[in-house]
Chain A
Amino acid sequence: MKPLTFSATLDALSSIGEYVIAATDKAGLGQKQAYHLRLAVDEIATNVIVHSCPKSEPKPLLRLRVDLNEQDLAIILEDTGLPFDPHQTTLPNDLHCSLEKRKIGGFGIYLALKWVDQLRYERVGVWNRNIFVMKRNDC
């Protein structure tokens, strides 16, 4: 699959979702794995779009590509937003609480990390690089 580049706007999310699902089809992942991978990429991309220089013009760039080998499918999402390592965020610790007492938000990164087999983060020059890995024999 050819890499794609988007301007970091909310309009890009549906194309990003379609791209991830197409990659999971090619890799033969099961329906749940495919859904979970799409969710993870969508949440991180959303985070870049909403929180990483939302007012800057031009918008940061998002770049998407696929690395498929016998064992794994990796989706590589890169962006030129502010440095952000999803592993360094504070995850919600009130998931057991009543919905009345919850903080609004904070679920996105939690969901991004929840089901992928691996999420690796690297900072490369001006780029954040998130590598989402799903095992192919796991369906």
Chain B
Amino acid sequence: MEINLNVINQVTVITIAGNLDSSTAPKAEEKILPLARPGCKIALEMSHVPYMSSAGLRMLLLIYRQISGSDGQVVLVGLSEELKDTMAVTGFLDFFQIYPNLESGLATII
């Protein structure tokens, strides 16, 4: 699992590549959680995440909690059908802004 950071139009684009399971999600949390601050603008690019277990959900939950109630913004882009299914049955889908690709995600953050 690799994480790359990139700033596009003042939005921090965090690209995750690889599986998010219990062996990799803690490393992703370590890198991403410090960035999820009040006022942040983040696009989480997940089109290269073929697999996500409950460990990935936990990470999303922590990100959500850090920015909710603040004016921070996090969008998720490029989720596979399977990742969306997992988020849907656990009631996560409704709480995140989800876009099919980075372009459409970035267009909504300003």
Task: Give me the interface of A with B, judged by CB distance under 8 Å.
Answer: 10-11, 13-14, 17, 31-32, 35, 38-39, 42-43, 46, 49-50, 95-100, 102, 104-105, 107-108, 110-111, 114
Contacts and interface: CB of A to CB of B under 8 A. Distances in A.
B51 A38 contact: yes
B68 A100 contact: yes
16 contacts: A10-B22, A13-B21, A13-B22, A13-B23, A17-B19, A17-B21, A32-B85, A39-B51, A43-B53, A46-B54, A46-B55, A99-B65, A105-B54, A105-B58, A111-B86, A111-B89
B28 to A, nearest CB: 14
B61 A99 contact: yes
A101 to B, nearest CB: 10
Contacts of B54: 43, 46, 105, 107-108, 110-111
Nearest to B82: A35
Given A32-B82, A104-B62, A111-B90, A98 B23 contact: no
A50 B85 CA distance: 25
Given A98-B95, A104-B58, A107-B54, A49 B86 contact: no
Nearest to B65: A100
Contacts of A108: 53-54
B61 A104 contact: yes
A95 B90 contact: yes
Interface of B: 19, 21-23, 51, 53-55, 57-58, 61-62, 64-65, 68-69, 81-82, 85-86, 89-92, 95
| Smallest CB-CB A-B distances: 10 pairs | A10-B23, A107-B54, A108-B54, A95-B91, A46-B22, A35-B82, A99-B64, A99-B95, A13-B23, A13-B21
Nearest to B83: A35
A47 to B, nearest CB: 9
A14 B23 contact: yes
Given A10-B22, A10-B23, A104-B58, A99 B92 contact: yes
A42 B86 contact: no
A42 B22 CA distance: 9
